[in-house]
Amino acid sequence: MPTSAPPSNTSSRRPRRAAEPVRPYHHGKLKEALTEAALDLAAEAGEEGVTMREAARRAGVSPGAPFRHFPDRKSLLAAAAEEALRRFRGELDIALAAARTGGPLERLKALGLGYLRWALRNPAHFQILSTRAIFDLDGAETLREDNAAIIAMMEATIAEAARSGQLRDGEVRLFVIAGRALVYGFARMFIDGHFPRWKIESEEAERLAEALIDLFITGISAKPAA
């Protein structure tokens, strides 16, 4: 009912080779449209707001149509997560590139800050990309690749810091997991609505994020040779 009416075509009936793809739907890039709708829905109402029927409605197709492209709801969520993770990874690449002249600990900080900034600014997308057994799906190769790439960035940076003697004694793996748990935990505390209980105002969240990362880096650093 409330869906915007399909743009009434000028006149001629399907000039098959014309340039504008203006006619209703009946075909086209439905898969992309559904994925985009899923991302919008997640941003508007969280993961549980992502619905096959509503995505279909927004794409202007019937309730059964999405099942031609996604075997089930989980697959649609995975496609949305894939796109969200692609964007997330892009941000981290940029953050890391901007800090590439610095030392490993400086780059680690840039990475952590990029991570938390994105999570704080795109909570719903961070949510769908982190929750659920979406990773177990078959078609989730891009997802796994992007995820592995992000893990690798962190690992390489910390390993480099360790090699150059900037970290205190300890396993690199432990530092990596601790760093991830810290940023993931802070991001999820936000997403899961814990900030009010901790009296964290949303305006101070990014400042706090930076302080946490500094604390972490200082905590795993070698003591100054004073």
Residue 68, interface with DNA (CB under 7 A)?
Answer: yes
Burial of 39 (0-12, 13-18, 19+ CB in 10 A): buried
Stretch that binds DNA, among 64-72, 143-151, 188-196, 211-219 (CB under 7 A): 64-72
Considering the complex, what minimum distance in angstroms separates the CB of residue 87 from a second copy? 19
45 touches DNA by CB under 7 A: no
126 and 147 Cβ atoms separated by less than 8 Å: no
Cβ atoms within 10 Å of 123's Cβ, excluding its own: 18
Q: Name which of 102 and 185 has its Cβ closer to a second copy.
A: 185
Q: How far is the CB of 20 from DNA (least distance, A)?
A: 17
- CA nearest neighbour of 205 among 120, 129, 135: 120
Asked if residues 17 and 101 have their Cβ atoms less than 8 Å apart, the reply is no
Partner whose binding site includes residue 197, from DNA, a second copy, none (CB under 5 to 8 Å by kind): a second copy
From 45-53, 99-107, 168-176, 198-206, give the range in contact with DNA by CB under 7 A: 45-53
Q: Verify binding: residue 63, a second copy, rule CB under 8 A.
A: no
Q: Applying CB under 8 A, does 225 fall inside the site for a second copy?
A: no
Is 98 within 8 Å of 113 (Cβ atoms)? Answer: no
Structure tokens at 41: 């829905």
Single out the residue of 97, 98, 151, 152 in contact with a second copy (rule: CB under 8 A): 151
Side chain identity, residue 58? R
Tokens representing 101?
A: 């002249």
Torsion of Cα atoms, 82 then 85 then 87 then 93, to 10°: -140
| Interaction of residue 126 with a second copy, rule CB under 8 A | no
State yes or no: residue 152 binds a second copy (CB under 8 A). Answer: no
The answer to whether the beta carbons of residues 159 and 171 sit under 8 Å apart is no
Interface with a second copy (CB under 8 A), residue from 135, 149, 152, 222: 135
52 touching DNA, by CB under 7 A: yes
Q: Is 115 in the site for a second copy (CB under 8 A)?
A: no
Contact by Cβ (8 Å): 107, 157: yes
Binding site for DNA (CB under 7 A): 25-28, 30, 50-54, 60-65, 67-69, 71-74
